[in-house]
Amino acid sequence: MTTLSGPIPQFGKPQALAFADPFAAMAQLQRYADDLKYVMHEKESALKQIEKAHLHSLTVLARAAEYRDDDTGVHMDRVGGFSGLLAKLIGRSDEEAKMLSLVAPMHDIGKIAIPDSVLKKPGEYTLAERAIMNNHAVIGAEIIGESDIPLFAMAAQVALTHHENWDGSGYPFGIAGTQIAWCGRVVAIIDFFDALTMHRVYRKAFSDERALEMMKIQRGRKFDPEMLDVFIEHLDEFVQMREQINSSSKNR
């Protein structure tokens, strides 16, 4: 039988807690919590400043792209306002509607890379020119970049999908129905309506009535049918907003 040799280990009493006084312990914990809150607040503040700067830079770039196709630049403002309004009308949250109003103006940011010979061509595009023009959706998403920040993730979705069609005949990927991001489906309706009802160098603006006729033909083809119905039902609200935005732009 094996026996133990040497002195038997002695186990002393447990060491006293660092804070015998529970009130002192709670006070120290509160200081730790306050320090952590301060650090998190500073980090949050820095991230918000970066996000704000990024948004400003993208908006300036989008406006530069827009000025090449619309010398007033008001189309961007209307698309932003209209998109936020339609988002609310279809039942999206206030936060989502506000986000969309901020990022919808970036929908055509990729046009900054399209040559004037294509962008400003008044007639029909050749197949090669159409391919160049259609690529602005992918370019736009690449300019905005991938991001975990919801605002910029939505901006990239809008740029990439606002030319996709409900029936799958759009570009760049030919996806259909609810495969298309909801924000892209909203901007598709808004962009189409506003583009038709504004003056271009190569044509006069269509009336609201004529634009709606053209859009109704595309119900369930180009446009989400339920979203289009909501837009048409509330057209007066969009017309009123357009007058306000146009009036504000003249006073800048």
The pLDDT score that the predictor gives to residue 94 is 97
Total-model pTM: 0.79
**CATH, residue 71:** 1.10.3210.10
Q: Which letter, b or e, does each residue of 93-117 get, where b requires 16 or more Cβ atoms within 10 Å of its Cβ?
A: eeebbebbbbbbbbbbbbbbebeee
Amino acid of residue 68:
R
Determine, yes or no, domain membership for 85: yes
CB 167 within 8 A of CB 185: no
Determine, yes or no, domain membership for 116: yes
Question: How many domains is the chain partitioned into structurally?
Answer: 1
pLDDT at residue 58 tops 50: yes
Instruction: Identify the domain containing residue 169 by its residue range.
Output: 35-244
Token duo for residue 85: 């309004």
The pLDDT score that the predictor gives to residue 121 is 85
Determine, yes or no, domain membership for 51: yes
pLDDT 10s digits, 185-235: 999 999 999 999 987 766 788 999 999 999 999 999 999 999 999 999 999
Determine, yes or no, domain membership for 12: no
- In this prediction, residue 154 has a pLDDT band, given cuts at 50, 70 and 90, of very high
Query: Annotated catalytic sites, by residue?
Result: 111
Determine, yes or no, domain membership for 6: no
- Block residue for tokens 């002695």: 10
117 three-state secondary structure:
helix
pLDDT 10s digits, 75-119: 999 999 999 999 999 999 999 999 999 999 999 999 999 999 998
- How much is the average pLDDT of 157-178? 98
CA distance 145 to 179: 20
DSSP for 48-98 reads: HHHHHHHHHHHHHHHHHHHHTT-TT-HHHHHHHHHHHHHHHHTT--HHHHH
